[in-house]
Amino acid sequence: MTNDSDSTDLRVGWIGTGRMGFAMARRLAKGGVDLAAWNRTRAKAEPLAEVGSTVVDSIAELRDRDVVFTMVSTPSDLEQVLLGEGGLLADRDHVPGVVVDCSTVSTESSERMREACTDRGVAFLAAPVSGNGKVVKAGGLSLVVSGPEETYHLVAPLLAHLGKSVTYVGQGDVARLVKICHNLFLGVVTQSLAEITVLAEKGGVSRAAFLDFLNNSVMGSVFSRYKTPAFVNLDYTPTFTPTLLRKDFDLGLAAARQLDVPMPVAAATAQLVQATVSSGRVDEDFAILLDQQAAASGLVLKPEDVVVDDGLSAADEVS
């Protein structure tokens, strides 16, 4: 590999084509990157062939790639695809040059995978992301990256293909903590948004009107606008599930204990996220925190059937 600004010179492998992984891999492929993809359920990866990607039957077929991205759900999944039988690093004499992991895992898990990569002469970058499939398609993904700076500069053109913002935060696995903090904030903000929206509606204000005001005030944000259609029309098509959010709260509160940082608001929100999971609605979007808040407030929600802008534009979509 050479440190070339043209990212299409790098042959890329991709492991994990769930909601996020598929959207990210597709964006790279549509940007002209030579990409080969593997997923445990092959059918989920096969549509990538329509945009010029190669879909492979085994992870071993990705070992000759310059850079391999991983996007999986849990630390055990990451360990399995890297170190398990038939994993990317299982053959010490046949490994890729760089592994870029975009999963949300603990710092400790990331450190173990970094050590395994380093032991085999493979550079490792932690590169967790902020966004979902729709955000990726609109070109709005944000990435936070840590690891060897030289490796970061090597793959930076690939990362730039994926979204609007890439922030390098230093050596090691500090990017993991940044992402965990981000997702704690995600849950806390969503719960707070649910509480004030229910308060306004129970006082006689429609959700559409209240959120229109909020989004155009100094308190509005890209996120509050993005979640407005779900809150107004009760569309809980999953972008991020309560189960995944619970996992991130577990990681965040564990980090807080380790670093002796009291987090009373996050701890309270974690209990509410757990209640959502316990309700059984685990296949819906975590915006169902709104329903849970309404039920606790004696309010029955109904879709308002209002056309609402989510603030995303597909103007940056790779065509």
Residues serving a catalytic function are: 179
Q: How far is CA 212 from CA 140, 191, 205, 277, 295, in A?
A: 22, 18, 11, 29, 23
Distance (Å, whole) CA 120 – CA 111: 14
Q: Token pair of 46, please?
A: 């096969």
Element housing 165 (H / E)? strand 165-170
Residue 208's CB is within 10 A of a number of other CB atoms, namely 18
Q: How far is CA 90 from CA 59, 71, 96, 112, 116, in A?
A: 10, 18, 11, 15, 10
CA dihedral sign, ordered 306, 191, 241, 107: positive
SS3 per residue for 273-317: HHHHHHCCCCCCCHHHHHHHHHHHCCCCCCCCCCCCCCCCCHHHC
If you write DSSP's letter for every residue of 173-214 in order, what string do you get?
A: THHHHHHHHHHHHHHHHHHHHHHHHHHHHHTT--HHHHHHHH
Distance (Å, whole) CA 290 – CA 267: 18
